[in-house]
Amino acid sequence: MSSSDSTTSLKPDTKLAHSGRNPRGFHGFVNPPVVHASTVLYPDVETMVTGGQTYSYARRGNPTTDSLEEALKEMEGAAGAKIANSGLNAVALAILSCVKAGDRILIADTAYGPTRHFADTVLPRTGVAVEYYDPSLGSNIKTLFRDETTAVFTEAPGSLSFEMQDIPAIAAAAHEIGATVLMDNTWASPLYCQPIALGVDLSIQAGTKYIVGHSDAMLGTIAASDRAWEGLHELCGAMGAHVAPDDIFLGLRGLRTLSVRLERHQRNTLEVIDWLKDQDQVAGIRYPALESDPGHEIWKRDFSGASGLFAFDFADGTSKEQNFRFLNALTLFGLGYSWGGFESLAIPVRLKGMRTATPFDEGLQSVRLHIGLEDPEDLIRDLAQAFESAFA
């Protein structure tokens, strides 16, 4: 018996520490072995032809993959979970698992850019139509439903612009027509938002971000509700989805400390924002945990915490050159896209080509920050000197 069979009723932090582990199955060692494998041997031909043993072929899983998938299943309250080789791969596999030729998928206009790229370039070739929708539509999403609508993709808060979505309202509307609901929940991680409990069928994580948490591996995860699990399991098998055991090991290792890291990311972020909001050069902050944020009520209702990623808008009249000077002047914040590690990062927000259903201000100068595990006083000093040098 796996130790995790008995952990379903435990609190999230306890699940993080115990789920997916089975020390007695591995001579008492705390962690499962990192199984490097392709071939699986059978004791006799009868076992072979009847499929009479747990593992048959390494692509289909081994004790290392089982451990992470089991832990994710428990964390997400899911019927089952699969691992993909990147967050984007998880998005692609999740979508492909629930659509077929002739179907139409609705995708939030604020979805992650490469998700749009997948939807715009691959889905049309499979005969699936794509329509982007205003993320602020709650149950009114039903005004966009047609007979062919079979899936609704959500992401909250939205990539780069951080709008919240009323996931339970969207899920309830979608289920009325039997559509599958997907959510990219990377920002909150399964610790601060539980998509399946909100009505989501396919809960997606860029595990690369907070689960791995150390900027040293790429991983995607998909957890499925009862109605979506069989389709997901089938599709991942048919596609030959497989992740190398060393990367899964890094995901498992990251998962064990997710709670302490996220708590610190959140605390540091609030401290940095508390300083940032009073700066003359800053017009607004996009972070749903702030009471002033338009998505705050939904965040408070559906999420139990906030992570280290947010954006701020420069004051009116700030030029692109000033924005770039600010970014170039930062010394502790690295200029890099893939967030979720222990280090602070910054990028310029560029929405051009990434919004088609909702208007955005093309002239607005914004920066997205990821607040890492450094001392926030040092981060604030770095931001202060970058403002000085950009606006001198």
Ligand X SMILES: *Cc1c(COP(=O)(O)O)cnc(C)c1O
Where do contacts with ligand X occur on this chain (CB under 6 A)? 86-88, 91, 112, 155, 159, 184, 186, 206, 208-209, 218, 220, 338
**Nearest distance, CB of residue 340 and ligand X, angstroms:** 8
Q: Which is nearer to ligand X, 38 or 337 (CB)?
A: 337
Which residue, 209 or 286, has its beta carbon nearer to ligand X?
Answer: 209
Residues linked to residue 220 through DSSP beta bridges, in sequence order:
84, 206
Q: How far is the CB of 220 from ligand X (least distance, A)?
A: 6
Nearer to ligand X, 33 or 114 (CB): 114
Of 159 and 180, nearer to ligand X (C-beta) is 159
**Shortest separation between residue 189's beta carbon and ligand X, angstroms:** 11
Pairwise CA distance, residues 187 & 210, whole Å: 8
Q: What are the residue numbers of the active site?
A: 59, 112, 184, 209
Q: Looking at beta carbons, which residue is closest to ligand X?
A: 87
Q: How far apart are the first and last CA of the chain?
A: 65
CB of 85 to ligand X, least distance (A): 8
| Closest separation in Å from C-beta 378 to ligand X | 25
- Residue number, 184 or 293, with CB nearest to ligand X: 184
